[in-house]
Structure 1
Amino acid sequence: MTQTYDSNNIFAKILRGEAPCSKVWEDDVSLAFLDVMPRAEGHTLVIPKVPARNLFDIAPDDLARFMPSVQTVARAVRAGMAAEGVAIQQFNEEAGGQQVFHLHFHILPRWTGVAVRPPGGPFQNAEALRPHAEKIRAAFAAL
């Protein structure tokens, strides 16, 4: 069943500058920012700039241009947060766990013995996210 893209979803609004975010990276094909309900310290979202509801809707050429951004952001998150590893998650449609219907990848820094928090956790404002955003932004310079 094909669903349509809603250009009023929160990530589309962020891309248009109509909603704020704690940006850590931007290039011509992607935007990366901290999740406001982080499951781990430094939990980062990477979204394509093209309107795509999920993995099934993005054109293969657009996906091919976008995926290096996911890799680059994952490297910066791992380095900036001094993480031992990262988990990368991507959900499709409500039954698959997707909550915002604009394609996005979750980059979760991981450390041995530290569990991720459950989804939908407490909201964190930009001030609370700032130290993590600064660490991740600084890591891009070293990549």
Structure 2
Amino acid sequence: MNAGVGQPAFGLSFDPRALTDLLQAPSDIRDLTLAYLQEVVNAQRFGLRLDGDLEGYRKLFVDSRKDWRVVYGVRPAPAESAHQKEIHVVAVRPRAGNDVYDEVGRRLGMTRRPLSARTHAARSRSPQLTTRTPAPRPGPPPTALPGLPRPAHNPAHHHTR
């Protein structure tokens, strides 16, 4: 990032609903979010990468309890921007019950709940785990081996010699 001295490395944009999120957040969360976003646009802070359906986006933990999240992406800035790339904030919401990730999925136009890479892996079946019936082994049946008990015969099927 070749940002000039005092010049941000990235532009900043908000999904209009994320701006509403920010305005409706408690004042301490709002202040922390704005301070963290300033560090992000100055390339002094980077959120953790999201995976699975939200790959390409990042999350910031806003408060010390990690109850609030900012989800953003880095995308090309508009042609008229002074920056090549911009930070685009998609949501500023509580994490509770994965609300923030569900809402991000809706805002990105996903028709189902976004899944993490771990969930994708857990839902897929490994070909090594498919159940197979054991292949019959060559040789006499186990009851024909000397020293092993033979199955009981039903008297109705007992043949006399």
TM-score of Structure 1 vs Structure 2, range by shorter chain: under 0.3
Instruction: Pick the structure with greater CA Rg.
Output: 2
- Normalized against structure 1, the TM-score is what? 0.27
Higher relative contact order (CA 8 A, sep 6+): 1
